[in-house]
Each structure stands twice: as structure tokens, then as C-alpha cells.
Amino acid sequence: MGSPKVFLPTASGAFLQIASKYPQLSIPLTKHKMFLATRKFSKKSSYLFAASLLVDCPFVGDTTRRWALGLMFGWVALLFSPAQGWAIDLHVAANAQPGGNGSQAKPFKSLTEARDRIRAARKSGQLKPDQAVNVLVGPGTYRIEHSFKLTAEDSGSAAAPVVYRAIQPGTALISGGLTIPSDSFVAVSDPEIRERLDESVRDKVRVADLTSMFPKEISQWKTSFRGTPGGPWLYVDEQPMTLARWPNLDAENEGWADFSKAIDSGLADPDSEDPARRKARPGAFEFRDPRPTRWNLDEGVWLLGFWTHDWSDEVIRIGAYDAEKQVIRLAAPHNYGIMAGTWGGSKRRFFAFNVLEELDAPGEWYLDRKGRQLYYYPAETASSSSIVLATLPQSLVRMENAHHIKIEGLRFEYGIADGISLKETTAVEFAGCTVANVSRGGISINGTENTIRSCDLYNLGTAGISVRGGDRKTLTPAKNLVVNSHIHDYGKFQRSYAAGISVKGCGQIVRNNLIHDAPHNAILYGGNEHLMERNEIYRVVMETGDSGAFYTGRDWTSQGNVLRHNYIHDLGGGDSKHVNTMGVYLDDCDSGDTIEGNVFVRAGRAIMIGGGRDNRVVNNLVIDCPIGLHLDSRGMTWKQWNNPKYAGWNLEEKAEAMNYRNPPWSDRYPSLAVIMDDSPRQPLHNAILRNVFVDCSKQVGSFSGGVMKLLDKLDIADNLAVNTTGAAKGIASTKDIQGFTNIAGSTENPVQVGGSELSDGSFTRLKDARLTEALSSFEEIPFDKIGLFQDNYRHTLPVK
């Protein structure tokens, strides 16, 4: 039998026109099937290819053949010019059969197969450098057991990138998880296990044997750690389940237990007469609740606690429990000791987890790592749930030294490392992607000109997106961009310093993102010349204190950063006796940043400058924040100042490392270049201009005594302190600070600013005549441009 006859598929209207005129083009597919399967035709190439078939076809006459030859020669020069490379399409499908060739009819089964086909085509010369490649990924789940790796050999070019694109955005899932059938879970029958469970749940908890489903080694947890517990991790219906814990999440005090007496801080005391106390040791504290008597400490019970500071959490295993003395001793020391003094509440807090005896609420689970038994308390509808155990110990995607690659519309979920890792990459873009349900961070970037555009990241164990790159010494910007991305519900395991977006290096851009619902920072930054603008941030610093939505600290050289036109509102956390959650926090003498045109609503302190200098606070609107602006002089009084003995306080040494007295640093930061000759301990040269503070309940400006003595050396002018209703109590004014004007309304004629205007996003400028008359120089804030926007990848906006 001869080759099968088919009508050739076309990729343009041009080819269709010719084919319809000459139906005799039904020819054997064998000769051309790979050509067709791997090429996306332009109009020109479609004409040329159709004409070439006419020339070869034995069924056409001489006149038609001469016409076809003329058409071919007319287009050939343009078609094969260096700028006219054909784009190649390769197809990937979740239900593909082995042995595919990448055509739509015989797609590859994985991204790895497509990548390897591209590599082979380049080595053989079939794929030219000027040819772009599109890998079209069909709907479905693609489970991987190793990272999808891309390196320099997988790169494209600016004119011909390599694109991995979901055919239907959001429907192709790259998964590092193992799906567990719901019928694998059966009732608990082991009498010893049933006895350890609370009587009320013994018949509700289910168990699945992982011996055959997941035969790989399950590692034990470390004695102490910050960040993510060792995997695997359980997800049901795309939500992380809760490792069996006490107190439960819905218990009093938001699921925390607390204590108020340390028996041993565990801190080293070099002068102690007891040799054992001269070095750090596990601390101990008094805990009067008898709950620990129920726990099997030999199997391991871990406590996640804020042991001294409300900005430093750590997980530490219980070493011993003395029931008679009611004392818990930890199994490892904490870096800051137990109750060693902090700015915050007098009590310290923790919760216990990985405790089988506490598996008593729907959604909780426990893994017997030695016996490979997975215990789970399902909700009533669990029979129809999707149950996934995240097992991949590497990043789902790893790129190293790659460039000009674009990933569009794919989902990446279920891993126990970072979701995506980019190292030394250039011009790599993730657009319209989702990274979720990984027990470490979402995306980690180190390179230049990379872009995260219109992506969604959530349910993350640590940080959302970490970006670094550029050269600080030469002040060469990296130009990495994070834009229009929605980052929320991160810091699930590491409760502090796991930010929504973290930027380091030089010249990163963070623009138009929405960040919310997290225990600590939204944006954590350090380095130079970063631009962070038009971001909306809310419900962050929900579990921590002495913290900020934006945070940087303890570095004179972290200069030139701009925080502009951000909307920061409804922050939480901290202790009720202290206003220690900040909108923007420049900590420990950090200097040289600009805070301009931002809107702050309901933050503890809108802006806090902790002893730094050369900062500009200009044209901000602060509403309903207990303290509007804080400026102190800690550099003048703290023993840590510029003292390498204390971690991170080697301020001058950090500056010397940047060669700060010489260009380009001395040109860009002239004030820093002479700092050691200009009273370096003093918070000099800060500018506070054209800001409006509305209904601050405690203080409009909280200035330390040292600052009050330096007011003539600060640039403070044209600021308003507004009492909208003229309340006699509960609203602060500024009586003794230069550069502030007090304006008060009345209950009958309140000052109109913020409020409902902010809630519907219509605030742009001061509207009340009393305000515009007092501060005509206040510049319009582009409130309607803040936050997410619709584009080719984000078609709808989330409901807040």
C-alpha cells in the first residue's frame, strides 16, 4: 500500500487560497509531515511552500508550474533573509503516548522531551539561531520527579525567544506532588494509636499506608531550624493542611500558648563561675499548663516560638519536660535566648506541632516517618477531595545561565523546595503563571533584566519572590522587574523575614503588585537604586512586632531607593501596649531613601526612621495611624552603633567595602562620602516636606529627645496635622515641632479627606478648601494607578 493521503494543513489564509484553487494537492504526507509538524507558517512562507508543491506535483500543467516557479523566486529572497526565521511549534500533552514527535497529532508527553528535541535540532542544524520556538502545553497535570532544568544551551535570543506557553492559560499544571486516592485512607485500627488520639476523634481520623505509594526515604526533622520543616507536606483541594498542633488555630489567643517566666535564657555568660553557663545552651521556661504530659517526646515534639523578639521565630524540639516543676527545656539554644528582653509584650508565645495526640481538628494531619503512615482528619466532604502529598525536594523549575526564555500561563505547584529558581539568567520572563503550594519560596531570581509579570503566588512556606542582581560597587542596575503580580498567604512556615517580595543588589523594579495576608514583611529590601512603586499592601505584619510592611535596616550604604505611590493599609500584629507595626521602617541608621507620595491607612506607625540620615519623606498622606512619623537618634546613644562586635552594626566597614569615598559612590551619594566628618552618629539631613497627617490618635510626629535638639539641622516644612472633627481628646496635634500646621474641623463641618474616597479608590488629591489653602503645593497621588491592572495575562482583578 502507498502512503496515506491527506489534505495538507495550512497555517495561513494564503496557503488555503492556493490549496482551494488546486485540490490536486492531496499528496503523500510522508515526505512533508515533519516539515509541517515543526513549522508555523507566515503568509510568505505559506505561499512559497504551496508553490513548491505545485512545481513538484505531476497533476498540474506547464502554465501553472511556470506561475508557481515565479511565485517561489519572488518570495525566496525575503523568506530566507537573516531576519526572517520561521517559528517552530512543538506540542506537549498530558495524555500523550510514548514516542511522540512534537506534532499536534503526536505530541510530547513532557516539557523535558520538548526541551531535548530543541537541543537535538540545534546540534544537527535543523533549528537555526534566528528561529523562535514555541512549546505549546496542553491542559492537564504533568508530574515531575526532578527539576525541569534549562541552561545556556536552551536559550533563545531577543529576536527569537524560546517560549513555553499553556494553550489554555492556567490549565497546565507542573506538579511535584503525589496524588493519593481518597480510598487509600481507612479507619484507624491500631489500638495503640487509637489510645493516643482524643476519644472524640478516634473514629474520624483516617490513615493511609505510604509504603508502596512513596517508597523513598522520609528524612527526620532537625533539632532546630528557621523556615520549612522537612517534607513531604499534605495538600487537600489545593490548600495546605495543618500539621497536628496545640493550641488549635481557632483557639484563644489566635492559636498561641504563652509563658512569662524563663528558668534559663540559654545565653552564654562568659563571666559565669559555672563553666556550663559560659557558652550558649538550650533554654528553659516555666509552663503551668499540664498539656505536655500527653505528648510522646521520644517521637519528637517541636515548638514554633517567638522566644525573645517578636521579629524572630524559630522551631526548636522539646528536650525534656519536668511535670513536677512544670518546666519545658528546649533541645537547642535560641540565638537571642529565652525572654532575654525585647520591645514588645512581657509574655512569649509558641505552639506545639507534629504531635499525634493533638490530631483533633478537621484538616489536621500527622506523618509517622518511620512507619510511613499518614494520618489525616478529613472534612466531611473528603471523599470527593483532591489529596496531594508534595514530595519533590528540588525546585520545580531551575534555570542557570539561560537567557531569552519566556514561560506563559503555566501553573507550578506541590514541592518542598523553592518553586522556581533562576541563577545568572538574563531576559527570562514568567508571565501569567501561578506558583502555589510549595513549602519554601515561590520564585528566586539572581540575574539581570528578568521579569515576573502578572503572576499569582500563594500558599508559600517562606517568601514570595526574591530578587537580586546588579553590581553595587559600580552601581550597575540589574533591571529585574516584578510587576502586576498577586502575592498572598506566604510565610506559612517561616513567620519572620520571609517577605512577599525581597530585593537586594542594585536597580530592581517592583511595581503595581498586590501583597497581603502574611505574618511579617511585605517588601524587604537592601542595596541601591531600587524603585518600589504603585504597590498595594494590606494585612501584613499580622503576627510580628517591631516590624514593617516595607523594611530595611542597619546599613548606611543602602541608598538611593525610592518608595513611591504605594498604598499601605490595615496592618496588624504586635502587642496591644505598643504601636510597633510600621508602614515603612528604616531601621538602625539606614539612610538615603526617598518615601514619596504614599498613602498610609491604619498602620501603627506610618513611617519610622530609626536613627538614619539623608532620607526624604515627601508628599505622603497618613490617615488613622496612631503615630504618623517616628524619628529617633539611636545612633547617638546605643552602644551597638558602628560596633562590629554586634551583628550587622559595622556601618563604616560596610561603607568601606563599597569604596564609598570614590566615584561612582562619591558622585552619587556625596553626603555619604563625607559622613565620618559630619557627626556620623546624628540623624542629620532628613527632609520632611508636604506631608498630611489625618487623625493620628497618639502622636503626629514622635521625635526623640536627641532629634528635638537637632531640629534646626533637619528640613521640616509645609506639613499638615489634621483633626477632621475637632475632637478634644483622642486626636494628636503638633504644638512644639517646626514645619507643621494644625487644622481642625468640627462635627458640623468636618475636614473632608480620605474615608469613603479611599475605600472606592477615588482619592487623588486634597479636596477640602481648608487643606488646599494651607498646602497648595501638595502633589496629586495617582491612586487609581496603584495596584493590579488588567493586561493580556490578567483578565480579571481579585475581589478584596
Listed by start position, the domains of the chain span 5-79, 89-173, 179-244+358-388, 252-353
Give the three cell numbers for residue 69.
516557479
Beta strand 314-322 pairing with 302-306: antiparallel
Instruction: Identify which has the larger pLDDT, 67 or 192.
Output: 192
Mean pLDDT of all residues in 5-22: 39
- State phi, psi for 356 to the nearest 5 degrees: -55, -40
Name the pLDDT band for 342 (thresholds 50, 70, 90): confident
690: number of CA atoms within 13 Å, CB side?
Answer: 18
pLDDT single digits (tens) 158-209: 999 999 999 999 999 999 999 999 999 999 999 999 999 999 999 999 999 9
CA distances from 402 to 186, 214, 445, 464, 475 (A): 47, 33, 12, 22, 23
User: At residue 277, does pLDDT exceed 90?
Assistant: no
pLDDT single digits (tens) 633-654: 999 999 999 998 888 999 999 9
User: CA-CA distance, 497 to 312, in Å (whole number)?
Assistant: 8
DSSP-assigned beta bridge partners for residue 608: 585, 630
Give the three cell numbers for residue 580.
510597633
CA distances from 594 to 16, 45, 486, 669 (A): 59, 54, 25, 13
In the chain, the largest separation of any two C-alpha atoms, in whole Å, equals 109
Percent of the chain with pLDDT over 70: 87
Q: Which helix (H) or strand (E) holds 423?
A: strand 420-431
Q: What is the pLDDT of residue 766?
A: 81
Helix, strand or coil for residue 597? Answer: coil
**724 neighbors 697 (Cβ within 8 angstroms):** no
Mean pLDDT of all residues in 660-664: 98
pLDDT single digits (tens) 470-491: 999 999 999 999 999 999 999 9
User: At residue 331, does pLDDT exceed 80?
Assistant: yes
Average pLDDT, the chain: 89
Q: What is the pLDDT of residue 311?
A: 95
Beta strand 140-143 pairing with 172-175: parallel
- Number of C-beta neighbours around residue 141 at 10 A: 16
Name which of 93-102, 265-274, 397-406, 418-427 the model is least confident about: 265-274
Give the three cell numbers for residue 15.
496557503
Percent of the chain with pLDDT over 90: 78
Q: What is the pLDDT of residue 713?
A: 93
**350 neighbors 303 (Cβ within 8 angstroms):** yes
For residue 38, what are the contacts with CB-CB under 8 A and spacing of at least 6? 88, 89, 90, 102, 103, 121
For residue 302, what are the contacts with CB-CB under 8 A and spacing of at least 6? 221, 229, 315, 316, 317, 318, 352, 353, 354
User: At residue 73, does pLDDT exceed 50?
Assistant: no
CA distances from 659 to 413, 475, 557, 589, 645 (A): 43, 12, 10, 19, 22
User: CA-CA distance, 526 to 519, in Å (whole number)?
Assistant: 20
Q: What is the pLDDT of residue 574?
A: 53
- Number of C-beta neighbours around residue 277 at 10 A: 17
Give the three cell numbers for residue 39.
513549522
Name the pLDDT band for 340 (thresholds 50, 70, 90): confident
User: CA-CA distance, 493 to 550, in Å (whole number)?
Assistant: 20
**Residue among 132, 93, 103 nearest 32 (CA):** 103
For residue 30, what are the contacts with CB-CB under 8 A and spacing of at least 6? 3
Cα–chain center distance at 130: 35
Mean pLDDT of all residues in 116-144: 95
Mean pLDDT of all residues in 101-119: 97
Degrees to nearest 5, angle at CA 724 with 719 and 729: 100
- State phi, psi for 270 to the nearest 5 degrees: -60, -25
Name the pLDDT band for 6 (thresholds 50, 70, 90): very low
Cα–chain center distance at 393: 19
Instruction: Identify which has the larger pLDDT, 384 or 43.
Output: 384
User: At residue 28, does pLDDT exceed 50?
Assistant: no
User: At residue 667, does pLDDT exceed 60?
Assistant: yes
Beta strand 302-306 pairing with 348-353: antiparallel
Mean pLDDT of all residues in 652-679: 98
pLDDT single digits (tens) 47-63: 545 555 554 554 445 55
- Number of C-beta neighbours around residue 730 at 10 A: 10
**Residue among 560, 551, 704, 567 nearest 622 (CA):** 567
CA distances from 511 to 166, 482, 560, 785 (A): 25, 6, 17, 10
Q: What is the pLDDT of residue 26?
A: 39
Q: What is the pLDDT of residue 65?
A: 54
For residue 662, what are the contacts with CB-CB under 8 A and spacing of at least 6? none
DSSP for residue 86: P
Mean pLDDT of all residues in 565-581: 80
User: CA-CA distance, 505 to 468, in Å (whole number)?
Assistant: 5
Q: What is the pLDDT of residue 78?
A: 36
DSSP for residue 471: B
